[in-house]
Structure 1
């Protein structure tokens, strides 16, 4: 359902804490949108945003129905499904922060509801809009081997969730977009350092097309780092997602031993502003969002798989655990644990889940 391109879209933000306040600022300042309301169970957050932007504040997100065209959902992940479901069923377009939901079943339900009610469902995988990632040439978007590092000092918030859902999920989404193939198997190891949840995880993803991705996420680091390394025939690319630049090394010619180095310095763009603008454009045009609900589902299912592997193999002296589907080795949008009939051990069964990029290729 597209909107009149000349109309000013009425926007709201549900959850105006630390990060939600940034969403509110974008809607209040971007052309073609107007922040008309905020909602938050926390009275202090709601009152602060209402005062700053001179808009009504509500304690219940359902009070937004009939008053707005679209909304950002920036509540804790456990509340994503309920809030987004209520808004989508009312015909309101939704930009939902990552992870899309707590479970793959909830994500599947939101995707179906968005399709039924003809509304845009976009997932807030912010790194898709990073200038360095957007500047990556198409010829370098099919690497054979990917290595990512996302490291931060221990945070003051979100320490109660696994580093996989807190940090690594950013790189999971990028890797799925680049690989364009279902995940075949996963190796993973993780440890708790400063919290009761996983604070450092390393995961190796093997894709059906032969691509391999080695991901490391840690919130037990002294210095922040957000890098992506892409290796393919005749080229090696480093993306610094923090500094927003690329370094590309490639052979000058196919049969040459001479290596050329190209540096691309990107503008220090407001990435969240770019993301929200993309969402607004999708609502106006009725076009698919840059990061679809299916993309969010793929990232969540992969993250859950990684955490399953880590949980299954906690001993630091044991080899990395690998779980594959016996028939086709594909990751599934629906993860379930079935006791093996003979050994009574847990078997991780997964059916095919196609990444966003492959889905686009099939449709084109």
Structure 2
């Protein structure tokens, strides 16, 4: 069966989705909806229409929503009412309330809803999760992430928490296979924009793992690092290069007095060879297969995405400075 797919939004992310859709096996990419007069009339030899109804009239089984976050609820609702499955770029909606609305609507209509938390498909993080499940690290003590870089011109409707930190919220819970039970944060507004552009966050997961996240739009270089510390050593995932490195605790016996602090020593280091499939292609393949199967298979569901937005809102709520 060949699925017919449409795209809503042709910005930076939308252009990447269009590229993948145009060559995705088992999918007929039929067209794009974008009302902007600056976008071309055809993309990858597919028509660009200016009204959503025009795209729906082309007959589509599912749609990818890459429009600004403020339109996610409206567009997702239109698609659900038309019986169309949807892969929506993260965050799933602007607010937790809107996210829950979409989650419940798609569930009630028996439709597949996925969220574009693309980091789950990064080879380094997928390999890290697999090795954690195999027991390589033993008990997970801490997960620390750093996601820093210059301000992206594509973002105007949300702050750094919902744009970038949602990646770290999702990947941290997913890699550890634990839920957040508490979070605290501090935010800053340094660039004169309405929304926060820096956040430092800490949290605790359901299995006792503690987390920390450094996220901002004000660093003149890009950094995307996840450091997972366990009882046997540390996994370091660089998602810019899709590299995964294991730093093993030393096996040399160290004598200590019962009352002294017990630490670790430096051991072997291993850099793993990974199959580096493009994350966006893997994301699209998983969503296509879920639609064909009629059930979620390896995707970030609307339920997952809603929990991420709920956690992000708690960070934003907590992210103020108390004056002593």
Work out whether the TM-score is over 0.5: yes
DSSP-derived class of the 1:164 partner: helix
Q: Deviations over 1:47-80 (max 9, x none)?
A: x2x4233333322223333510111001100000
Q: Deviations over 1:269-323 (max 9, x none)?
A: 321111111111111122314211111001111111000001xx335x65xxxxx
**What is the aligned length?**
306
DSSP-derived class of the 1:110 partner: helix
**Is residue 150 of structure 1 aligned with residue 142 of structure 2?**
no
Query: Which of the numbers 205, 214, 219 marks the counterpart of 2:203?
Result: 205
**Is residue 302 of structure 1 aligned with residue 311 of structure 2?**
yes
Q: Distance in 2 between matches of 1:51 and 1:106?
A: 32
DSSP-derived class of the 2:300 partner: coil
DSSP-derived class of the 2:191 partner: coil
Structure 2 CA distance for partners of 1:270 and 1:179, relative to 1, 3 Å? closer
Query: Which of the numbers 222, 225, 228 marks the counterpart of 2:220?
Result: 222
CA contact (8 A) 2:21 2:27 kept: yes
Structure 2 CA distance for partners of 1:159 and 1:15, relative to 1, 3 Å? closer
How big is the shift at 1:185? Answer: 2.5
CA contact (8 A) 2:147 2:216 kept: yes
Query: Where does 1:1-364 land on structure 2 (aligned, <5 Å)?
Result: 7-45=1-39, 48=40, 50-65=41-56, 67-136=59-128, 137=131, 138=133, 139-140=135-136, 143-158=140-155, 161-196=158-193, 197-251=195-249, 259-289=267-297, 290-310=299-319, 313-315=320-322, 318=324
Gaps in structure 1 of 5+ consecutive residues: 1-6, 319-364
Q: Distance in 2 between matches of 1:148 and 1:69?
A: 37
How big is the shift at 1:258? Answer: 6.7
CA contact (8 A) 2:148 2:215 kept: yes
CA contact (8 A) 1:81 1:101 kept: yes
CA RMSD of aligned residues (A): 2.1
Q: Distance in 2 between matches of 1:150 and 1:34?
A: 35
Q: Distance in 2 between matches of 1:38 and 1:23?
A: 11
* Mean CA deviation greater in 260-269 or 210-219: 260-269
How big is the shift at 1:156? Answer: 2.5
2:262 corresponding residue in structure 1: none
How big is the shift at 1:255? Answer: 6.6
Q: Deviations over 1:115-140 (max 9, x none)?
A: 22222100000100001011111235
Q: Deviations over 1:314-352 (max 9, x none)?
A: 35x65xxxxxxxxxxxxxxxxxxxxxxxxxxxxxxxxxx
- Per the normalisation by structure 2, the TM-score is 0.88
Q: Distance in 2 between matches of 1:171 and 1:120?
A: 24
Q: Distance in 2 between matches of 1:98 and 1:63?
A: 25
DSSP-derived class of the 1:148 partner: strand
How big is the shift at 1:108? Answer: 1.4
Q: Distance in 2 between matches of 1:253 and 1:284?
A: 49
DSSP-derived class of the 1:237 partner: strand
How big is the shift at 1:222? Answer: 1.9
Q: Distance in 2 between matches of 1:159 and 1:221?
A: 18
CA contact (8 A) 2:69 2:157 kept: no
How big is the shift at 1:160? Answer: 5.1
CA contact (8 A) 1:73 1:80 kept: yes
How big is the shift at 1:251? Answer: 3.7
